[in-house]
Chain A
Amino acid sequence: MPVLKVRGLTKRYGDTEVVRGLDLDVRRGECFGLLGPNGAGKTTTLRLLLGLIEPDAGSIELAGIAVPQHAREARMKVGVVPQMDNLDPDFSVRENLLAYGRYFGMDKAAIAARLPELLEFAGLANKADAQIAQLSGGMKRRLTLARALVHDPDILFLDEPTTGLDPQARHLIWQGLRRLIADGKTIVLTTHFMEEAERLTDRLAILDHGRLVAEGAPRALIESHIEPAVVEVYGEGLDAWRRDHAGGVCQRSETVGETLFCYTCNAEQVIDALKRAPTLRYLHRPSNLEDVFLKLTGRDLRD
């Protein structure tokens, strides 16, 4: 029984189809990633799932509730961390949580009972009375995450939860999310950080131009879409080496700017060949999700 079941979801703006016939199944207790370049339709998909906008076609079932028909009931079961911080700047940390709990119909005592746990989770126990303007970017994100948990939902939607954070703050958010996954929450997150997706998600879907182009566990996607190793080659004489040798040792190769990406099942062979070209420099690494992503969605700049 999936927690989220999406079939044929379609959204048009004028002549542009932003989401095109999307099918998704998210299972209980899993962390599901929606990856895609800017404009792939990730945020629109999340807004559709919450029933904030109406689809042109398709069906959504969230926690067993039809959306958008019963979006209000469905949203009772979901916590949302939006892309842009929209904490209430007129309130302190504590008051933000209190006010937000009321929107879910909780009374003051019920919210107050949850406050210590939420503040601890956000690492803001000693900042309960701080004003929002006094918080760092990472603290604001953590508070937004705690706010999404105020009504103890089973499902969490996070729209690019770590965009704009420094590495320390990002790791703290990841830590928090792993804790929630361990607690059995179901998480749906959008991101364009491959590392985030690889570290956190059990399964992910790659979206491009509103369409699902691949779906699966991060490791499985890497194994099925791409050769196991990558050798990045650059330096003097690259053009000649590509012409004379690349075809022989690389299963697949691609030039981006001044670097040749050589995808291979036998990196030794590539490195041997490279040793005979001393002017070239190279980097040998295992292939990763970013390679899959770039293969499937291309290297064009999306603005």
Chain B
Amino acid sequence: MRSNLRLPRLSWRFIPVWQRNYLVWKKLAIPSILGNLADPMLYMLGLGYGLGSLLPDVGGMPYLTFLAAGTVAYSTMNAATFEVLYSSFSRMHVQRTWDAIMNAPLTLDDVMLGELTWAVAKSLLSGVAILAVIWGLGLYGNFWMTLWIIPVVALVGFCFGGLGLVMNAVSPSYDFFLYYFSLVITPMVLLCGVFFPVSQLPLPVQAVSAWLPLTHAIDLARPLVVGIVPGNIALHVVALLIYGSLGYVIALALTRRRLLK
């Protein structure tokens, strides 16, 4: 029992796990990219132009810009979440790929670090694609500053990858993930300032929102799109790191209990 709670021992052996996922993804790269990006892109452009034309400036910027900045964080969150829920679950539970890998000199710590870093890669892809649209439509204030969005996106992927792995560890089946989306992801999208400023919410709800990881992500991404240095950078970065790391550590303990018994 105590050995399940042991802290992760990280090693470079996670790299072949990452590589395995990359090689599989490469086979279906085009449909995978389209599938990942079409949805956030449609929302962003549809709502941005459609709703945006009815609205005055939101948060001091055109609605399309406001929404694009939110979408960077939101689509990154989704990319990481989908990867570590559905795809990781397939590999862990359905295909038993993790079991096969652990017969080689890899530990569960390595396997899950491989999954987490792969989720970061998928997030980067997703975030950078939205960023490319922002560049293309000229929705930014300062081009050089928007480059900082790339590490932010990686950080957001790490955060939600770690959190999602906890769900993966406790899920009996794919259906279980709907709870996570309905009870965690969707509320967060509505409470953290993707579609409208958090300041529109009642004060007690704003207080809750301030603790949520997506809020930290958006507080970093939105100023960078507009061309302002974000406030409280250290707070947001540390918060995202803590959420992701805690998620990974807890997920590892729970998955050890699940698989290594």
Is B103's CB under 8 angstroms from A82's CB?
A: yes
Point out the residue from B16, B27, B96 that lies within 8 Å of A103, measured CB to CB.
B16
Nearest neighbor of A53 in chain B, beta-carbon distance:
B260
| Contact between B106 and A53, CB atoms less than 8 A apart | no
Given contacts A54-B3, A88-B20, A90-B27, contact A103 B97 (CB under 8 A): no
With contact pairs A52-B260, A86-B95 given, residues A99 and B23 touching in the complex (Cβ less than 8 Å): yes
- CB-CB under 8 A for A89 and B95, given A102-B16, A103-B104: yes
Q: How far is the CA of A80 from the CA of B97 in the complex (A)?
A: 14
Report B-chain residues with C-beta under 8 Å of the C-beta of A76: 105
- Distance to closest chain B CB from A26 (angstroms): 18
Q: Is A100 an interface residue (CB 8 A)?
A: yes
CB-contacts of A54-105 with B (<8 A):
54, 72-73, 75-76, 80, 82, 84, 86-91, 95, 99-100, 102-105
- Count how many chain A residues have C-beta atoms less than 8 Å from C-beta atoms of the other chain: 26
Q: Is the CB of B97 within 8 A of A88?
A: yes
Q: Which of A103-146 contact B (CB under 8 A)?
A: 103-105
> Which residue of the partner chain A has the closest CB to B106?
A103
| Nearest neighbor of B261 in chain A, beta-carbon distance | A53
Contact A88 B95 (CB under 8 A): yes
Q: Chain A's nearest CB lies how many Å from the CB of B259?
A: 9
Say yes or no for B102: interface residue by CB 8 A criterion: yes
Per a CB cutoff under 8 Å, which of A75, A95, A100 touches B100?
A100
User: B16's contact among A50, A73, A99, A148, by CB below 8 Å, is which?
Assistant: A99
Known contacts A52-B260, A99-B16, A99-B20: does B100 contact A87 (CB below 8 Å)?
yes
For the complex formed, measure the closest distance between the CB of B19 and the CB atoms of chain A, giving whole angstroms: 6
Pair A73/B23 contact, Cβ less than 8 Å: no
Residue of A nearest to B25 (CB): A90
Evaluate contact between A104 and B100: CB separation under 8 angstroms.
no
**Contact of B99 (CB < 8 Å), options: A54, A73, A82:** A82
- A91 neighbours in B (Cβ, 8 Å): 23-24
Closest Cβ–Cβ distance, residue A103 to chain B (whole Å)? 4
Whether, in the assembled complex, B101 has its beta carbon less than 8 Å from a beta carbon of chain A, the answer is yes
Q: Give the distance to chain A from B17, nearest Cβ to Cβ, in Å.
A: 8
The answer to whether A84 touches B104 (Cβ under 8 A) is no
**B107 at interface by CB-CB < 8 Å:** yes
Instruction: Count how many chain B residues have C-beta atoms less than 8 Å from C-beta atoms of the other chain.
Output: 23
Beta-carbon contact of A84 and B24 below 8 Å: no
Which residue of the partner chain A has the closest CB to B108? A52
Output the least CB separation between B96 and chain A (Å). Answer: 4
- Closest A residue to B107 using CB positions: A72
Within the assembled complex, what's the spacing in Å between the Cα atoms of A13 and B261?
Answer: 8
The chain B residue with its CB closest to the CB of A50 is B103
Q: Which of B19, B27, B96 contacts A86 (CB 8 A)?
A: B96
Contact digits for B70-99, partner A, Cβ 8 Å, 1 yes 0 no: 000000000000000000000000011101
B4-47 interface (Cβ within 8 A of A): 13, 16-17, 19-20, 23-24, 27
Pair B103/A75 contact, Cβ less than 8 Å: yes
- Residue pair B101, A103 in contact (C-beta under 8 Å): yes
Could you say which residues of chain A place their CB within 8 Å of the CB of B23?
A: 91, 95, 99
B105 touches A88 (CB 8 A): no
Verify B96–A73 contact, CB threshold 8 A: no
Give A73's nearest chain B residue, CB to CB: B105
Within the complex, what minimum Cβ distance (angstroms) separates B24 from chain A?
4
Q: A52-B260, A102-B20, A103-B106 are in contact. List 18 more A-B contacts (CB 8 A).
A: A13-B261, A50-B103, A53-B260, A72-B107, A75-B104, A75-B105, A76-B105, A86-B100, A87-B100, A88-B95, A90-B24, A90-B95, A91-B23, A100-B100, A102-B16, A103-B16, A103-B101, A104-B105
Q: Which residues of A contact B (CB under 8 A)?
A: 13, 50, 52-54, 72-73, 75-76, 80, 82, 84, 86-91, 95, 99-100, 102-105, 148
9 closest A-B pairs by beta carbon, nearest first, are: A103-B104, A86-B96, A80-B103, A102-B16, A86-B100, A90-B24, A72-B105, A75-B105, A76-B105
| Residues on B facing A (Cβ under 8 Å) | 3, 13, 16-17, 19-20, 23-24, 27, 95-97, 99-107, 260-261
9 inter-chain pairs at a CB distance below 8 angstroms, sorted by A residue, are: A53-B260, A73-B105, A75-B104, A76-B105, A82-B100, A88-B20, A103-B105, A103-B106, A105-B105
